[in-house]
Structure 1
Amino acid sequence: MQAIWYRDKREVTEDEYEAFYENLANTKIPYKYKLHYSTDVPLAIKAIFYVPGTHQERIQLMSEESKINLYSRKVLIKESCKELVPPYLRFVKGIVDCEDLPLNISRETYQDSSLIRKLSNVVTRRILKFIEDEMKRDVADYENWYKNFQQFIKEGIMSDQENQEQLLRLVRYQISTSSLDKSVSLDDYVRAMKDGQKKIYFVSGASEDQINSNPFMEPFLDSDLPVLIVGNQVDEMIFQQIGMYKSFHFVNVESGYDEISRDIENSKKGQDDLNKPSLPDEDVTNFCLWLKDTTKPYVGKVSLSKRLKSSPAVLYGQISANMRMMMSLMQQQSEDPAEANRQMEMMSHNQTLEINPNHQVMIKLNQ
Structure 2
Amino acid sequence: MAEAQAQNIEFKAEIKQVLDILIHSLYSEQEIFLRELISNASDALNRFKIESLKSNNQVLDPAVPLGVWISTDKDAGTLTIKDTGIGMTQEDMVQYLGTIAHSGAKNFIEAMKELNKGDTKTTTDVIGQFGVGFYSVFMVAEEVTVTSRSYQPEAEAAYWKSSGEGSFEVGPSDKADRGTVIEIKLKEDAKDYAETYRIRQIVKEHSDFVAFPIYLEEESHEEDKKGEKVFNQINAQTALWRERSSDVDAEKYKSFYQQLTFDFQDPLKTIHFQAEMPIQFYALLFIPSRRDYKMFQKQDDYGLKLYARKVLIKEDFKDLLPPYLRFVEGVVDSEDLPLNVSREMVQNTPMIARIKKALIGRVSTELERFAKDDEAGFKTFYKEFGQFLKEGIASDKENTEKFLDLLRFASTATEGEDLTSLNDYVSRMKEDQKDIYYVLGDDAKVVARSSHLDYFRKNDLEVLYLTDPMDNFMLMGLSEYNGKQLKNIDDAELELPEDEKKIETPKDEGFISLTAYIKETLGDKVEDVRESKILTDSAARLVNPGGMGNTSFYRAQRLMGQDFQVPKKILELNPGHEVVKDLSARLKANDQDPLLPVFVEQLYENELLAEGIHPNPAEMIPRLQKLMTEALRKS
The equivalences for 1:100-249 within 5 A come to 100-205=336-441, 209-249=445-485
Deviation per residue, 1:264-323 (Å, 9 max, x gap):
x5468xx98x9xxx9963444433222211221212312111111122222223467675
TM-score w.r.t. length of structure 1: 0.85
- Partners of 2:295 and 2:576 lie apart in 1 by 49
> Does the aligned pair in 2 maintain the 1:302–1:355 contact within 8 Å?
yes
> Does the aligned pair in 2 maintain the 1:176–1:229 contact within 8 Å?
yes
Q: 1:320–1:309: structure 2 CA closer, same or farther, 3 Å change rule? A: farther
Secondary structure of the equivalent of 2:439?
strand
The aligned counterpart of 1:327 is 557
Instruction: Give 1:27 shift.
Output: 2.4
Amino acid at match of 2:496: S
> Does the aligned pair in 2 maintain the 1:279–1:357 contact within 8 Å?
no
Q: 1:43–1:142: structure 2 CA closer, same or farther, 3 Å change rule? A: same
- Partners of 1:289 and 1:344 lie apart in 2 by 24
Structure whose CA Rg is larger: 2
Instruction: Give 1:173 shift.
Output: 0.6
Aligned-residue CA RMSD in angstroms? 2.7
The aligned counterpart of 1:306 is 533
Q: Does 1:354 align with 2:584?
A: no
The aligned counterpart of 1:344 is 565
> Does the aligned pair in 1 maintain the 2:306–2:333 contact within 8 Å?
yes
The aligned counterpart of 1:337 is none
Which residue of the other structure, out of 309, 314, 328, is the alignment partner of 1:78?
Answer: 314
> Does the aligned pair in 1 maintain the 2:303–2:321 contact within 8 Å?
no
The aligned counterpart of 1:286 is 513
> Does the aligned pair in 1 maintain the 2:263–2:293 contact within 8 Å?
no
TM-score w.r.t. length of structure 2: 0.51
> Does the aligned pair in 1 maintain the 2:469–2:559 contact within 8 Å?
no
The aligned counterpart of 1:261 is 496
> Does the aligned pair in 2 maintain the 1:355–1:362 contact within 8 Å?
yes
> Does the aligned pair in 2 maintain the 1:328–1:344 contact within 8 Å?
no
- Partners of 2:467 and 2:294 lie apart in 1 by 17
Q: 1:142–1:74: structure 2 CA closer, same or farther, 3 Å change rule? A: same
> Does the aligned pair in 2 maintain the 1:25–1:67 contact within 8 Å?
no
Secondary structure of the equivalent of 1:152?
helix
Amino acid at match of 1:294: T
The equivalences for 1:6-25 within 5 A come to 6-25=242-261
- Partners of 1:302 and 1:215 lie apart in 2 by 16
Question: Percent identity, aligned pairs only?
Answer: 32
Q: 1:219–1:60: structure 2 CA closer, same or farther, 3 Å change rule? A: farther
User: Alignment length, in residue pairs?
Assistant: 346
Which residue of the other structure, out of 87, 90, 98, is the alignment partner of 2:323?
Answer: 87
> Does the aligned pair in 1 maintain the 2:414–2:420 contact within 8 Å?
no
- Partners of 2:278 and 2:354 lie apart in 1 by 9
Which residue of the other structure, out of 583, 592, 609, is the alignment partner of 1:365?
Answer: 583
> Does the aligned pair in 2 maintain the 1:314–1:354 contact within 8 Å?
yes
- Partners of 2:379 and 2:396 lie apart in 1 by 22
Instruction: Give 1:182 shift.
Output: 1.0
Instruction: Give 1:29 shift.
Output: 1.6
Q: 1:6–1:324: structure 2 CA closer, same or farther, 3 Å change rule? A: closer
Q: 1:215–1:112: structure 2 CA closer, same or farther, 3 Å change rule? A: same
Deviation per residue, 1:326-358 (Å, 9 max, x gap):
53454xx55xxxxx4xx505x2x3x21111122
Extract unaligned runs of 5+ from structure 1.
335-339
Secondary structure of the equivalent of 1:357?
coil
The aligned counterpart of 1:26 is 262
Extract unaligned runs of 5+ from structure 2.
1-209, 211-237, 586-635
Q: 1:280–1:123: structure 2 CA closer, same or farther, 3 Å change rule? A: closer
Instruction: Give 1:209 shift.
Output: 4.6
Deviation per residue, 1:30-73 (Å, 9 max, x gap):
11111111121221122211111012289776447324211222
- Partners of 1:74 and 1:322 lie apart in 2 by 47
The aligned counterpart of 1:55 is 291
> Does the aligned pair in 1 maintain the 2:391–2:470 contact within 8 Å?
no
Secondary structure of the equivalent of 2:524?
coil
Amino acid at match of 1:130: E
Instruction: Give 1:10 shift.
Output: 1.7
Q: 1:316–1:40: structure 2 CA closer, same or farther, 3 Å change rule? A: same
Secondary structure of the equivalent of 1:76?
strand
> Does the aligned pair in 1 maintain the 2:387–2:470 contact within 8 Å?
no
- Partners of 1:152 and 1:280 lie apart in 2 by 49
Secondary structure of the equivalent of 2:398?
coil
Instruction: Give 1:106 shift.
Output: 2.5
> Does the aligned pair in 1 maintain the 2:289–2:381 contact within 8 Å?
yes
- Partners of 1:64 and 1:29 lie apart in 2 by 23
- Partners of 1:261 and 1:60 lie apart in 2 by 49
Q: 1:47–1:61: structure 2 CA closer, same or farther, 3 Å change rule? A: closer
Secondary structure of the equivalent of 2:357?
helix
Instruction: Give 1:108 shift.
Output: 2.4
Instruction: Give 1:235 shift.
Output: 0.9
- Partners of 1:302 and 1:46 lie apart in 2 by 63
> Does the aligned pair in 1 maintain the 2:268–2:377 contact within 8 Å?
no
The aligned counterpart of 2:60 is none
Amino acid at match of 1:77: I
Amino acid at match of 2:436: I
Instruction: Give 1:221 shift.
Output: 0.6
- Partners of 1:57 and 1:151 lie apart in 2 by 16
> Does the aligned pair in 1 maintain the 2:429–2:461 contact within 8 Å?
yes
Instruction: Give 1:105 shift.
Output: 2.0
- Partners of 2:443 and 2:320 lie apart in 1 by 39
> Does the aligned pair in 2 maintain the 1:233–1:323 contact within 8 Å?
no
Secondary structure of the equivalent of 1:344?
coil
Further displaced range: 89-98 or 69-78? 69-78
Larger relative contact order (C-alpha < 8 A, sep ≥ 6)? 1
- Partners of 2:584 and 2:310 lie apart in 1 by 82
- Partners of 2:294 and 2:419 lie apart in 1 by 21
Instruction: Give 1:223 shift.
Output: 0.9
